[in-house]
Amino acid sequence: MIKYAEIESENIMKIMSIPEIKKYLSTNGIKPSLPRIKIFEYLNNYKSHPTADEIYNALIDDLITLSKTTVYNTMDLFLKHNIVIQILIEENEIRYDSLTSNHGHFKCIKCNKVYDFKYDLADISIKELEGFSLIEYHTYIKGICKSCNEK
Ligand SMILES: [Zn+2]
Ligand SMILES: [Zn+2]
């Protein structure tokens, strides 16, 4: 059974308390039910970029009435309200992230952790995109993370 993954990389979206999550969900037009609060807390505070199955497995001990359908529906709702983004670093799995600002992802092929990194395309000039307006961009890098390299 997968429990809360350890916190990875530096936190670039801050950890939120339960009242803060309630407020955040309400502000974004989402009724803060207990499963929604717990799912968002897991996503945001553990930053492991989990799949829906990992979320389910991590929370089922605390929320015994939780179903996989609830997790999938909640993720759809969060996506619709733009408080999560999907990460499609592998073709066969969808991972979720509560950090919705533009940032890149690095997946370690040894430990399978997904790390966030900050970057801004405004800092880089791309000749082919001169005159274009950039709305959203995704960068996925695969490799071996620092801690695996040091093993
Ligand atoms: Zn690694
Ligand atoms: Zn991320």
Contact 140, 107 (CB under 8 A): yes
pLDDT band at 61 (very low <50, low <70, confident <90, very high): very high
Examine the pLDDT at 33 and tell me if it is beyond 70: yes
Query: Which pairing describes strands 85-90 and 93-97: parallel, antiparallel, or unpaired?
Result: antiparallel
CA distance 24 to 18: 10
Strand partners for 14: none
pLDDT of residue 137: 81
Examine the pLDDT at 12 and tell me if it is beyond 80: no
CA distance 51 to 13: 19
Query: Percent of the chain, pLDDT > 90?
Result: 60
Query: How far does the centroid of ligand 2 lie from the alpha carbon of residue 85, in Å?
Result: 8
CA distance 30 to 128: 40
- DSSP H/E element including 52: helix 52-59
Record the tokens describing residue 121, joined without a space: 């395309």
Query: How far does the centroid of ligand 2 lie from the alpha carbon of residue 45, in Å?
Result: 12
Examine the pLDDT at 1 and tell me if it is beyond 60: no
Q: What is the pTM of this model?
A: 0.80
Residues, Cβ < 5 Å to ion ligand 1: 108, 110-111, 145, 148
pLDDT band at 13 (very low <50, low <70, confident <90, very high): low
Report, as an integer, the average pLDDT of 80-106. Answer: 90
CA distance 66 to 70: 7
Contact 58, 48 (CB under 8 A): no
Query: How far does the centroid of ligand 2 lie from the alpha carbon of residue 92, in Å?
Result: 18
pLDDT of residue 100: 87
CATH architecture classification, 1-151? Orthogonal Bundle (1.10)
Kindly report the backbone phi and psi dihedral angles of residue 101, in degrees, each rounded to the nearest multiple of 5, phi listed first: -75, 160
Q: Which ligand is nearest to the CA of 112?
A: 1
pLDDT of residue 88: 86
CA distance 40 to 30: 11
Query: How far does the centroid of ligand 2 lie from the alpha carbon of residue 97, in Å?
Result: 5
Q: Where are the domains of the chain?
A: 1-151
